[in-house]
Amino acid sequence: MELGGHTMIKNKMNTKLKKGIFSAVAVVVLIAAVIAVNIFVTSKNYTVDVTANKIYSLSKQTKKILKGLDKEVTIYVIDKESSVNSSYAQVWKEYKKNSTKVKFVYKDPDLYPNFTKKYTDSSEEVANDSMIIKCGKKYRYVSANDYVSYSYGSDYSYSADSLQLESLTTEAINYVVSDSTPVIYTLSGHSEQSFDTSVTSSFEGDNYSVKTLNLLTEQRVPDDCSILLINGAQKDITKDELKMIKKYMKNGGKMYVFLDAKVENLTNLYSLLKSYNVEPQKGVVVETDASKYTQYPIYLLPTIESSDATSAQYNSNIYILAPSAKGLKDITEKNAKKNSSASDYTVTSLLSTSDGAYSKVNTDSATLNKEKNDISGPFNISVAVSDSTGGRMIVTGCTNMLLPDIDQAVSGANTDFVLNGVNYLAEQKSKISIRAKSLKTENAVVPAFNQKATLIMTVFVIPLVILAIGIGIVIKRRKL
């Protein structure tokens, strides 16, 4: 019996020993695996951005630009490397990871107090973490004061709105590696609407120079005009101006035209558009499909059509907001019956309404319901036209889409749409607008149909389902 007892104890001890050895080996293997993974991740410089708006990640557009670099770009950061803002450093780290052509050099202002003088205005105080981005002899100074944009709330509070570091850095890289700067001329002299400064800054950030043009004084479209832009003219162009613009377009010119839905009597301008197979319709477009508008039937959420100009936004689950828009119709077939040259112009829809949309001709009418003189849709809200000579034109029937509050409602998607159109006109395929990273919760644009469906579900359907389940349980218990 004693021998058997000793054997059992010995077996138990052996079992415990084996389990202990197994556990120890498992722990060692686990630690080794963790170390190996850590070494691998560190060697690959791999990080995961878990922020809601991916503020530390680079957009696909920036990565594409970085991979296409064929010139060395040096980014001088005015600070000690150990003192740089950690958030900025994390974003810049992604630039180094995605291109061997980008080099960062840190300049301690205490050690190099005069370094920035040849790159900045001598009267300007250079903030720490500011950048000087240089390629060859071309450079751009970017102040750290512009990295974060701020806004006032309804309660007059001042808070951080968005991180613009990626957009500013990529735009500066685009600028310094470009051999030339395209010029956008905005037409004046017809009470045109002015752009918000943020829009002009977006153009300039995409490496465009913006100038004003008065054809009555200049008597011609300048030779360096890359794009002629007309923004919501309230008065018609003259016949002489029409001739000058036609001459410019016949030589492969590019135009971007925004139309104000409230303005109708633009005979000469509309004749130019009609010659390009685009006919503006009278009135303001009213949408009947609740999934194609928000809040009001004239606050359109048009369909983004597939095209070269919309490739970055097509099928991307975003909305373009176009309030109080003018409808446009493709009249290629109509013009072809009168003029065989109509086929020289190809019209491509960029934004469109549903088939049930109509244009409210009497904009002073007390009702949005369709009336006798209203025009049946569907309509285009924006179109691109190309011709056989290389000329290009975009016509958009909405001047309100770039107003700050409208653009912010769709988190900058309207600005992206316009900038991508500008880049299409200028044949700058690699230059795609980089949106600032929001530091706030983004606005949700909800189509009217979804609003109604949500209301019905939460107020009626769900409570009724819960009530029915409760009644069923009570009846079942009474039967038991």
The CATH number linked to 302 is: 3.40.50.880
In this structure, the answer to whether residues 405 and 465 fall within a common structural domain is no
Q: How confident is the model at residue 52 (pLDDT cuts 50, 70, 90)?
A: low
Cα–Cα nearest to 347, from 387, 388, 299, 298: 387
In this structure, the answer to whether residues 88 and 190 fall within a common structural domain is no
Best-predicted range by mean pLDDT (11-15, 418-422, 434-438): 418-422
> How much is the pLDDT for 447?
67
If you average pLDDT over residues 31-52, what whole number do you get? 60
Q: Which domain holds residue 188?
A: 181-438
In a domain? residue 163: no
Cα–Cα nearest to 298, from 400, 172, 154, 225: 400
In this structure, the answer to whether residues 316 and 354 fall within a common structural domain is yes
In a domain? residue 85: yes
φ/ψ (deg, to 5) at 427: 55, 45
In a domain? residue 212: yes
In this structure, the answer to whether residues 272 and 408 fall within a common structural domain is yes
In this structure, the answer to whether residues 266 and 126 fall within a common structural domain is no
What residues are paired with 152 via a beta bridge? Answer: 158
* The two structure tokens encoding residue 165: 């570091």
Domain count for the chain, please give it.
4
Euclidean distance between CA atoms 227 and 187, whole angstroms? 10
Query: Counting Cβ atoms within 10 Å, is residue 407 exposed (0-12), middle (13-18) or buried (19+)?
Result: buried
Domain holding 71: CATH number? Answer: 3.40.30.10
**Is the pLDDT at 46 greater than 80, yes or no?**
no
In this structure, the answer to whether residues 410 and 267 fall within a common structural domain is yes
Cα–Cα nearest to 167, from 443, 432, 430: 432
In a domain? residue 29: yes
**Is the pLDDT at 286 greater than 70, yes or no?**
yes
Q: Which segment of 33-42, 98-107, 386-395 scores lowest on mean pLDDT?
A: 33-42
In this structure, the answer to whether residues 414 and 323 fall within a common structural domain is yes
In a domain? residue 52: no
Mean pLDDT of the chain: 84
φ/ψ (deg, to 5) at 49: -90, 110
If you average pLDDT over residues 115-122, what whole number do you get? 86
In a domain? residue 6: no
**Is the pLDDT at 442 greater than 70, yes or no?**
no
In this structure, the answer to whether residues 270 and 403 fall within a common structural domain is yes
